[in-house]
Amino acid sequence: MRAGIFTKAKSGGLIGLKPAVLPVVLLLLSGCMEAGTSTSTAATKPGVFQARYEKARAALEAGKFDRAISGYKALLPQAGPLAPRLQLELAHAQLRNGDYAASAQAASALAISQQGDARAAALAVQGVAQHEMALAAIQAGRLDEAAGLLTQADKAMADVLKTNVEMDPLGALAARRAAIKVQKDRISS
């Protein structure tokens, strides 16, 4: 039943993704979540759940981030063992929608509760969101806040690159981490 969700998600387009987020989404779509069992609605009514998931996923891919966010939030109570995957997709939708604080918070909480690839994917989303928040803080002249966010983003990216370097086959996360280091140096001098 869950395999249908993974298969459909794998065939979805990746047009319009930010380069630093692409490795995260690729990992996510590859089914990095551990399988489990549940008596939730997701397990007992897979057709309904899958249709709602496909709508949320299609909204994300079409750039209708508010619709995707509402769809993922509505699915989470019935997600059962798919909850971590949907939480990550929700955090990604929030990131793409520019709600960096919500994205960072959701991804951070997920990273704490997960292991392996799922943890690394959450850390990558967290790091990107924190970096974007830092850039906004720099623009607003809040340099102390920016320094803290850059440090957190760097730590998240370093962890991903240390434990899951295969998540960055094109070097986008490494390039973002290098940019973070430059920005940290600029505001601390």
Average pLDDT over residues 9-34: 38
Classify each residue of 11-31 as buried b or exposed e, where b means 16 or more C-beta atoms within 10 Å of its C-beta. Answer: eeeeeebeebbbbbbbbbbeb
Q: Which two tokens stand for residue 161?
A: 């690159």
User: Do the Cβ atoms of 119 and 107 come closer than 8 Å?
Assistant: no
- Compute CA distances 11 → 6, 37, 52, 61, 62, whole Å: 9, 24, 17, 12, 14
Average pLDDT over residues 24-28: 40
Q: Which two tokens stand for residue 95?
A: 């990131």
H or E stretch covering 45:
none
Instruction: Please state the pTM of the whole predicted model.
Output: 0.77
Asked if pLDDT for residue 76 goes beyond 70, the answer is yes
Asked if pLDDT for residue 2 goes beyond 90, the answer is no
Task: Kindly list the structural domains of the chain, giving each domain's residue range(s) and its CATH number in brackets, ordered by start.
Answer: 2-188 (1.25.40.10)
Pairwise pLDDT comparison (48 vs 31), residue with the higher score: 48
Say which range, 19-28, 76-85, 130-139, has the weakest mean pLDDT.
19-28
Which pLDDT score, from 0 to 100, does residue 189 have? 81
